[in-house]
Structure 1
Amino acid sequence: VVMLLLVFIFAAVHSGMASFRDAGEKLIGERSYRVLFAGISLPLAVSTV
């Protein structure tokens, strides 16, 4: 149950941030958005694995 919850949280955050990529890049810049995306997505992926 916990593993399934972690997978759903990761999927929601990852796909949610990916869907806001264009707006995020326009707002804070391409490199800053990628760093933010990686900074949020990678720890979630590691904790899920």
Structure 2
Amino acid sequence: MREKGTKKLHIYEGWAWREQAPEDKPDWMAETITQANVSKEGIEYLDEL
């Protein structure tokens, strides 16, 4: 993800998995839900364009 107005490029790793919804879920929620997580890996600097 590039930071607006700079030459910084932020690097992330993301992943997702499916699991059962909690027992106290609202009526509109599906039986299985997608959980996600993101981890920042670092910052890279772009060369002059």
- Higher RCO (CA < 8 A, seq sep 6+): 1
Scaled by the length of structure 1, what TM-score is found?
0.20
Q: TM-score, normalised by structure 2?
A: 0.20
Q: Which has the higher helix share?
A: 1
> Which protein has the larger Cα radius of gyration, Structure 1 or Structure 2?
2
Which structure features the higher share of strand residues? 2
